Chain A
């Protein structure tokens, strides 16, 4: 388990509020053996993965669809989207994304959803150098996505923009330019 501590916080104590600086909350999760972070604004909810129904003639990145409280959610294999070694959507959790369209229900399959982390500007690291894929993954695979890498708990975790990532996978995704898109 990744011991991720954005801020050490004893139970019950309110976290110290730093100087009024814009802070971003990211959700840290692991998919296909890799840790990723995604802006919390882009996350609608997390839930356990229900049985997946495969969709014929769907792109490889689409694992299928799932029923979430009556709604049909499209499940996407993040590793395939990023050209990383895929595990076929073996994760037990789903990160349901908020892409701006309330009718669009897309979720990423994750092995483990860790926590919500507050990020401060000085905590953000630079872009991921092409050859430094943490823990495996082909060098240069990030090239076209060019994500930001943030330091969380001593690890370099790529910060994803799901819209960008999914744009290629699902051509129908509309880019929504919001204020806090990375």
Chain B
């Protein structure tokens, strides 16, 4: 209130001064000069006019000077304000008079500029900070993103590995199941093989018994054949003896025949006296012939008997051979059967062992299968957890992206702010337009 009045008073004073000056001048000029110069009324009027002009001019000058003082301040204010409007906050207004409104205004302006500067500086600083922070945030967001990416990758690997593991475990489980089935089958077959082997052993034992019985029978037969052969040999000998005797008889018959012929020859030589003798000789010859014929018949019969005998002997030899071979075969068979029984018993034992072992193996396989199932479950859980982790990581990545976006936004805003406050200069430097 006081300042306004000061300006007003100044203005009023100035105005008065101006008017005074004008009047003074006018008076001076008109009166003084007039007095000096004014010879006539026209000259006086002219002097009055000139004096008026001078007075106006002086008055204008004084007014201008006074006004200038005023307007200078206002001008500088206006300039400063204009400069400030350009954004330069480094200028202060020079205050000539600090007690009037303009001075107050200038002070106030300076204060305002200072305040603004302060604000802008702080704003700049803040925006810098914000920008830095935004950048840091962005960078750290990126880092986190990349870390999260790594984590996601690792988690994915884990998930894949877990899946792979689950698949392998499934395969192994399948194989284990198959193996268990196979072992079961082996055990069943081993059991049936043991049964079959036992049966075979029994059969072999029965066969062995039969073989022994057959052997005994064969021994009997052998004995019988031996006895027959013996008898046949005796028979043969007797036949041989008969043959010899028959040979003798035949020879005798032949010789008798010759003797009879010789007798006939001698009888013929004796002529008629030997007629009866030749008859006798003839009879003797006939007898010899008959004897010879009978002997031949006997010889034939003997031959037939011999042939038959030979057949019988051959048959018996063959039979003996066969029986011998049969005996050998039987012995062999008996031996073989005993071997079979022995081997079978061993095999039965072995098979029973195998059966027991396969039972164990079956149990072991079942345990394995159970363990495999547990492992599979664990692997599945693993895989599920990995999936969750992966999902969480994805979420985190999304959040990271979001954050990065926000950081980006923040950065953008900080930039904007920076741009905004960059319009204001706060450091004293060369003139800035």
A165 close to chain B: CB less than 8 A: no
A14 close to chain B: CB less than 8 A: yes
Q: Give the distance in Å from the alpha carbon of A25 to the alpha carbon of B266 in the complex.
A: 12
Q: Give the distance in Å from the alpha carbon of A116 to the alpha carbon of B265 in the complex.
A: 8
A80 close to chain B: CB less than 8 A: no
Q: Is the CB of B265 within 8 A of A9?
A: no
The count of residues in chain B whose C-beta lies closer than 8 Å to any C-beta of chain A is 20
Q: Report if A116-B258 is in contact (Cβ < 8 Å); known contacts: A40-B265, A43-B265, A45-B265.
A: no
Pick out which of these stretches binds chain A: B192-200, B232-240, B279-287, B324-332.
B279-287
Q: Is the CB of A115 within 8 A of B265?
A: no
Which residues of the other chain, B, contact A48 by a CB distance below 8 angstroms? Answer: 254-255, 258
A41 close to chain B: CB less than 8 A: yes
Q: Report if A113-B279 is in contact (Cβ < 8 Å); known contacts: A25-B268, A43-B265.
A: no
Q: Is the CB of B261 within 8 A of A116?
A: yes
Q: Give the distance in Å from the alpha carbon of A155 to the alpha carbon of B266 in the complex.
A: 26
Which residues of the other chain, A, contact B281 by a CB distance below 8 angstroms? Answer: 116
Q: Give the distance in Å from the alpha carbon of A25 to the alpha carbon of B271 in the complex.
A: 11
Closest B residue to A44 using CB positions = B265
Q: Is the CB of B258 within 8 A of A40?
A: no
> Chain A CB within 10 Å — which of B261, B268, B278, B279 has the most?
B261
Q: Report if A11-B287 is in contact (Cβ < 8 Å); known contacts: A46-B258, A116-B282.
A: yes
B264 close to chain A: CB less than 8 A: yes
B146 close to chain A: CB less than 8 A: no
Closest A residue to B255 using CB positions = A48
Q: Give the distance in Å from the alpha carbon of A175 to the alpha carbon of B264 in the complex.
A: 25
Q: Is the CB of B268 within 8 A of A41?
A: yes
Q: Give the distance in Å from the alpha carbon of A45 to the alpha carbon of B255 in the complex.
A: 13
Partner of A47, one of B258, B279, B282: B258
A30 close to chain B: CB less than 8 A: no
Closest A residue to B266 using CB positions = A45
Q: Report if A40-B264 is in contact (Cβ < 8 Å); known contacts: A47-B258, A93-B258, A115-B285.
A: yes
Partner of A113, one of B261, B269, B287: B261
Partner of A46, one of B261, B276, B278, B283: B261
B262 close to chain A: CB less than 8 A: yes
Q: Is the CB of B265 within 8 A of A11?
A: no
- Nearest CB of B to A41, in Å: 7
Closest B residue to A94 using CB positions = B258
Which residues of the other chain, B, contact A46 by a CB distance below 8 angstroms? Answer: 258, 261-262, 265
Which residues of the other chain, A, contact B257 by a CB distance below 8 angstroms? Answer: 113
The count of residues in chain A whose C-beta lies closer than 8 Å to any C-beta of chain B is 19
Q: Is the CB of B262 within 8 A of A116?
A: no
Which residues of the other chain, A, contact B282 by a CB distance below 8 angstroms? Answer: 9, 115-116
Q: Is the CB of A15 within 8 A of B279?
A: yes
Q: Is the CB of A11 within 8 A of B286?
A: yes
Q: Is the CB of B258 within 8 A of A27?
A: no
Q: Mark B274-315, 1 if CB is under 8 A from A, else 0.
A: 001011011101110000000000000000000000000000
Q: Give the distance in Å from the alpha carbon of A47 to the alpha carbon of B278 in the complex.
A: 18
Partner of A11, one of B255, B262, B268, B283: B283
Which residues of the other chain, B, contact A14 by a CB distance below 8 angstroms? Answer: 276, 279
- Nearest CB of A to B161, in Å: 117
Q: Give the distance in Å from the alpha carbon of A93 to the alpha carbon of B257 in the complex.
A: 11
Which residues of the other chain, B, contact A47 by a CB distance below 8 angstroms? Answer: 258, 262
- Nearest CB of B to A149, in Å: 22
- Nearest CB of A to B134, in Å: 153
- Residues of chain B in range 91-129 having any CB-CB distance to chain A below 8 Å: none
Partner of B258, one of A25, A43, A113: A113
Q: Is the CB of B283 within 8 A of A116?
A: no
Partner of B262, one of A15, A41, A45: A45
Which residues of the other chain, B, contact A116 by a CB distance below 8 angstroms? Answer: 261, 264-265, 268, 278, 281-282, 285
Beyond the given A27-B261, A40-B265, A48-B258, please list 18 additional residue pairs across the A-B interface where CB-CB is below 8 A.
A9-B282, A11-B286, A11-B287, A25-B264, A25-B278, A27-B265, A40-B264, A44-B265, A46-B265, A48-B254, A48-B255, A93-B258, A113-B258, A115-B261, A115-B264, A116-B264, A116-B282, A116-B285
Q: Enumerate 9 A-B pairs (CB-CB under 8 Å) in ascending A order.
A: A9-B283, A25-B268, A40-B268, A47-B258, A48-B254, A48-B255, A113-B257, A115-B261, A116-B268
Q: Point out residues on B near A: beta carbons under 8 Å.
A: 254-255, 257-258, 261-262, 264-266, 268-269, 276, 278-279, 281-283, 285-287
The 9 closest A-B pairs by CB, nearest first: A116-B264, A40-B268, A46-B261, A45-B262, A25-B268, A43-B265, A46-B258, A11-B283, A45-B265
